[in-house]
Each structure stands twice: as C-alpha cells, then as structure tokens.
Amino acid sequence: MPQDHDTAGAPAPASEPEPAPASASEPEPAPNAAVFDAVFSAAAASPGLRRVWQLALPDLPSQVEPFSFVSAGLLRHVAQALRLSRGRTLVDLGCGRGGPGLWLAQQTDAALVGVDFSPVAVGQATQRAALFGLAGRARFVVGELARTGLARASADAAVSVDAFHFAADRAAAIGEVRRVLRPGQRLVLTTWQPKVPGDTRLPPRHRGDWPRLLRDGGFTDIEMEARPEWHDLWTRVHRVALDLGDPGDDAALADLQEESRQRLPVASLMHRVTVITTAPG
C-alpha cells in the first residue's frame, strides 16, 4: 500500500523501537511512478485486499475499493470540511485508483479532477468513474503533486487522501495547491502527524509537522484533528491483513502485510489526523 509504505525501511522490531541514528533530515528515495504502476496493477487483481476492506471496513461502500485508510465516517467528515456544493470542482491530489475522490464528488454533486503520477492508476480511476455515476463529471490526469498541469485558480476545493506525504518536495507541492485553489477555498488532508515532530524512530516521511509546513506555505486557518476511531481504523486494517496469513501469490496483500509489520510497532508514535486549511485570499 504505497500511501503509507516505505520500501527503503527495514522491518520494524516487535517491540517499540529505540531511536535510530538517522537525522530528521535524512533523505528518502523519490517516489517512483513505475513502482506505483506495478502496485496499482496488483491491487486491482487482489482478492486479499478486497477481503481486508470487507472485514476491516464493513460500512464502506464496496465500489470505493480504497487504497488508503478511510471509513465511511472519515469520508463524511472530509466531505463536510470541503464545503462543496453542486457544480463546484474538487481536485483530488494523489488520487490513486480514484475511489475516495469519486465518493466525495458523488456525495457533494461536485465535478472531480483527479491527479496521480501513475498512468495505471489514472487509467483505473477513469474506468471506475462509471461505478459512481460520474463518467461525465470526473476526469483523471497524469501529473505530480508539485506539477499537476491544472490551470491556476481552477479548483473550489482540494483533497489528498493518504498521499500528500509522498511529495518529494513538500514546499513545492503546497505551493502548487495554492496555485490551483481559488482564493479562500479549502484543502483537506488525511495523513499522520508525529507526536514528536522529527522523531527519528519514524520513517522520514512521517516525521513532518503539517501545521508548520502549511503555515510556511502561506495557508491560513489551519485545523488539525485526531480521533481515536481514525487511529483504530488504521491499525485495524493492518491487523486484519496480518490475520489473513499466507498471501500466496497475492502480491498486493503481501505488500500490505509487510507494511503492517513495519507500521504497527510505531503506531503509538503517530496521530491519525485530518488537516483542514484555507488558501489565502
């Protein structure tokens, strides 16, 4: 599950880890679209992932098929925070296979533009729009978080579901959201916030302080919220994946299980959060 998977990290120990010698500024490999192409291809053919979602997220409509850690309740919270209405345009950054963004657009009667650097994900999302009755109201394009290719001030709201921490240059990605959003409109992230920013026990992607990063990028009215049920959902998905046992030839389930072995031992060091913020007027 690349939304929260660090392929460069070694498997975490079974007990809470000691601080690693790496610094908070330790570089990470830039995300690779070809790797994500392979992961998204495997996910589309994975009965194991579908079983995980059915067991861990029974309230989530099956057509969402998330590639992220979201429940129906969390998505409703995001939809309310976006303040969208009929005919407005939502931009989904790092949209992956499109399910959460399509659900949000469907529920708010908004138009949807999804952006992802994986051509495979963009193709899958385009095909899946019809499942939500949005074939004529949703489009998906290949682009990067820091270079979406979208027009300036073309979005009435922006969302990124468990993807924004993959930006190779977060300052540039935040600047791109400012460029694409109309003044005074909202960005909503679902992500993770370290309890101690810069904590070297965490993978580098999860050490950043989102309120500070967004404030430095010019955003205002920053609200970050953590709820126990969001954290429990995230860890439940990992536990369910491990409980399924031997993945056999299901590469996507095997990848999620490996991620689970790495993430569960450090889960207590992070908050599962939504971040709501406003583009400057």
Rounded CA-CA distance 29/201 in Å is: 18
| Confidence check: pLDDT of 28 > 90 | no
Write the pLDDT tens digit of every residue in 131-142.
999 999 999 999
Assign 188 a pLDDT band (cuts: 50, 70, 90).
very high
Compute, in degrees rounded to 10, the torsion defined by CA atoms 129, 131, 133, 136.
30
Percent of the chain past pLDDT 70, that is, above it, reads 89
Give domain limits for the chain: 39-278
Work out the average pLDDT over 36-49.
96
Work out the average pLDDT over 26-47.
85
Predicted local confidence at residue 4, as pLDDT: 47
Assign 12 a pLDDT band (cuts: 50, 70, 90).
very low
Top CATH class, 39-278? alpha beta
Query: How many Cβ atoms are within 10 Å of 80's Cβ, its own excluded?
Result: 13
Better-predicted residue by pLDDT, 6 or 263: 263
Assign 31 a pLDDT band (cuts: 50, 70, 90).
confident
Comparing CA positions, the residue from 37, 164, 157 lying closest to residue 93 is 164
Rounded CA-CA distance 255/203 in Å is: 17
Assign 20 a pLDDT band (cuts: 50, 70, 90).
very low
Predicted local confidence at residue 32, as pLDDT: 87
Assign 9 a pLDDT band (cuts: 50, 70, 90).
very low
DSSP letter string over 105-167?
HHHHT-EEEEEES-HHHHHHHHHHGGGGT-TTTEEEEE-BTTB--PPTT-EEEEEEES-GGG-
Average confidence score pLDDT of the chain? 90
Least confident piece of the model among 5-14, 58-67, 190-199 = 5-14
| Confidence check: pLDDT of 226 > 90 | yes
Comparing CA positions, the residue from 207, 241, 213, 35 lying closest to residue 118 is 35
| Confidence check: pLDDT of 224 > 90 | yes
Stated pTM of the model: 0.89
Work out the average pLDDT over 165-184.
97
